[in-house]
Amino acid sequence: MNRKLNILIADDEISLRTSLKDILEMEGYNIAEVGNGLDAVEAVKNGNFDVVFLDIRMPRMNGVEAFREMNKFNKKIIVIIMTAYALKDLIEEAEQKAFLLIDKPFDIPYILEVLRKIDAGAGDSSSKNKIAVIGEDSSSVMVLRKNYEVSMFKNSDIFLASSPESFKVVLIEPVSENNINDLHQKLKEKNLNLKIISIVSFDSPILKFLKKENLPFVRKPFNEGDLLKQIT
């Protein structure tokens, strides 16, 4: 990959914005910066950015409103929402629509790892993993869609009747232990070694089974970073 990502940082905290800019420039990325949501929208409209870091609370236009506007004319841009605190409704909308939601203060190594994966995907879209989501957990699709090719299936039978061999990872919202065991068994019968990750609530009775069998899982409402780490 010869071209590094073009990244826009939108945050009204000058010190934070400058620190992140300096770190990313040291990694070779092309960085621009603005101090409010309205300027961020104009920059994206007139520029050629691959990734935007948007603070969720900014003057003139907050990060979620800015994201809505950007999405009207650029649906492919990858938006990472940054927040230290915010109103509940803004957080919920950000979680549903943004590629990633990260907390302040930043975990810089994790941010750099995410950007490396985005960079690799931008260079060769054919290398993106194909992920199957079984169930109705659309929130996981929103998180994964920008960096992976995601297909949704209503249940395991529909997934197995498709072309399961074309997928690398399966996310499933299991209704029972049998549901998980049955999927593992049927994939084994097809000689397919796919990574199966269960999506469960914090109080799910299936959690005990998953831990006992040492099977991968993510809890809902999940942290986007945890989900991406499980998949990779």
Task: Pick the range with the lowest mean pLDDT from 8-12, 80-84, 102-106, 140-144.
Answer: 140-144
Q: How far, in Å, CA of 141 to CA of 131, rounded?
A: 9
Residue entry with tokens 């750099």: 112
Least confident interval from 26-40, 51-65, 81-95, 168-182: 81-95
Right CATH number for 128-231 from 3.40.50.2300, 3.30.565.10, 1.10.8.50, 3.40.1130.10? 3.40.50.2300
Buried b / exposed e across 52-82, counting CB within 10 Å, b at 16+? bbbbbbbeebbbbbbbebbeeebeebbbbbb
pLDDT for 152: 77
**Percentage above 70 pLDDT, the chain:** 79
Using pLDDT thresholds of 50, 70 and 90, give the confidence band for residue 15.
very high
Give 123's pLDDT tier (boundaries 50, 70, 90): very low
Q: Write the DSSP string, 137-197.
A: -HHHHHHHTTTSEEEEESSHHHHHHS-GGG-SEEEE--SSHHHHHHHHHHHHHTT---EEE
Q: Where in the chain is the domain with CATH 3.40.50.2300?
A: 6-123, 128-231
pLDDT, position 87 = 47
Distance CA 137, CA 217 (A): 14
Label residue 124 by pLDDT band (50, 70, 90). Answer: very low
Residue 207 CA to residue 199 CA, distance in Å, equals 10
Q: Are strands 78-83 and 149-153 parallel, antiparallel or unpaired?
A: unpaired
| DSSP string covering 18-63 | HHHHHHHHHTT-EEEEESSHHHHHHHHHHS--SEEEEESS-SSS-H
Show the tokens assigned to 73: 């004319």
41, 70 contact by CB (below 8 A): yes
More confident residue, 85 or 40: 40
Q: Is the N-terminal amide bond of 221 cis, ω within 30° of 0?
A: yes
pLDDT at 177: 87
For domain 6-123, the CATH class is alpha beta
